[in-house]
Structure 1
Amino acid sequence: MQYQYRSVSFPNEKRHRQERMIFSIVSFVIGAIVGGVVGVFIFIRITGGSAAPSQAISAPELSLADFSTPTAVEDTQEVIEVNNEVSPTAESEVANVQASSSSLPPQLYRIVPAESEARFSVYETFPEGTAIGRTSEIAGDFIIDFANPSNSQLGTIRINLRTLATDDPDRDQSIRCCVLLTARPENEFTDFVPLSISGLPEQVDIGQIVNFQVTGNITLRGITAPITFDVMLTILSEDEISGLASATVLRSDFGILNDADNGFDYHGVAEAVNLEFAFVARPVQ
């Protein structure tokens, strides 16, 4: 008796082939995702560069040689003459004001980077919390006319954005590479150029806290936009001034993480960004 054999395809074999095919597809997709993520990290590491500044921080300097207050002096003299004719009491009061003002001549101050800080803060949803970046690379000059504060001058405030540091080195690399683009030489520094000062008192004395506003232009990523800082200045002594300037800007005004530019709709970074300059300044001898 002869037997004939035929190959039989068992259902288990077919299922195993399908499982192997699905496994291969899933492995390919996972590999592509992992490879893409690794590629992004490598790209950020390469293009993010170093946080080291290319040069020491400095800003355009002001000079007392170019500063004068003729109007303030003339007005003071006229007031004294008028009040002298009115009454001895008024004469005494004006004399006291004049003595106080004359003891505090206009003074040029320069920000001390080692004791100062420029910072930003912005809310993030991933990871959830507030990201804060800081740098002590800030410089600038200002002149205070104690007798006539409206005659005071504020120079350009310069900050090295490349040196901003948060609590996450990977975030810092991303900021330099793809957010503020500060790895590029043209974006390393930003200048705040003041245009007007408002809200100053009629006179400033030692120990006084002065609140006012400064409006000017600031440039980020090559885009310049107006900004107004609320400033609180503390006259600690004739030899030391401290201050805090704060403002809020919209990141989209500077093309930061705009959806049309970065190619995705969600990045987890809030629109409003808080900026602060906390500084200590001392006289320029």
Structure 2
Amino acid sequence: MATDRPAWAPGDVAIDQPSVARIWDWFLGGSHNFAVDREVARKTLELMPEGPQMARLSRAFLRRAVEHCVRAGITQFIDLGSGIPTVGNVHEVAKRATPDARVAYVDIDPVAVAHTRQILAGDKQTTAIQADLRDTARVLASPELRGLLDFDKPIALLMVMVLHFVPDADDPRGILAAYRGALAPGSALVIAHGSRDTEGMPTSHLQTARKMYEREVGSVSLRTRAEVQALFEGFELVEPGVVWVPEWHPEPDEPSAGAAAAAVTAAADAASPRAGYAGMGIKRL
């Protein structure tokens, strides 16, 4: 049966292929996803009902990390693997804290980039770039990036729930070293990363969902706490170091991601499942 193409979808996007960004959008209560994305998301939810809640926890961490950066005097951001903007976009959070914030979104998904550009139309302090974060030379040489950000001043590099889609064969530490080399002292690296370590959820949920995800979407490289900590090479970790996502500078009464997201998380464990680590590091030299 033919699938209708939504009016907002770019004509060159295959609407019968699931996308990480659009699946994540559905988990967060967004509307820029296709039927194939929703099918994979629902399968994930059946196998791992904690999934959508974990997505919301990572979005709450992103907000806290951006606010922490602004308090530290960092007002420039590169959001790698930014996905489709839903509630709690980096530029919204940053601009609430300082009107001077400048944000560059980078994603490989053309739907994510197209929708981001629609949202950002007329905003001269933000930009959206379609690129693979693994292609560091292309990202860092982007005219949009160089025209927006001052690389002589600190920049926060955000990699929230994206590095577990970069396998060891692609050398994630080498990728991070390339970005680190382009950043000025005082810059920050923010990471949230899926892990095969779990707490508050059955390990079987994560493993069965991972196998299905790899079959339907692509490879997933879940890493231990020590492996995530090693990704901060060249950065000085901010207290409390690399911890479970909801335990990094937690705040009471975290805001909900919205009614739509709340509806899809009804089956999730209310005890804040932990299957991912988060941390922030500062480049000193």
TM-score (norm 1): 0.23
Q: What TM-score comes out, normalization by structure 2 length? A: 0.23
Higher relative contact order (CA 8 A, sep 6+): 2
Based on CA coordinates, which of the two structures has the bigger radius of gyration? 1
Would you tell me which structure has more strand in proportion to its own residues? Answer: 1
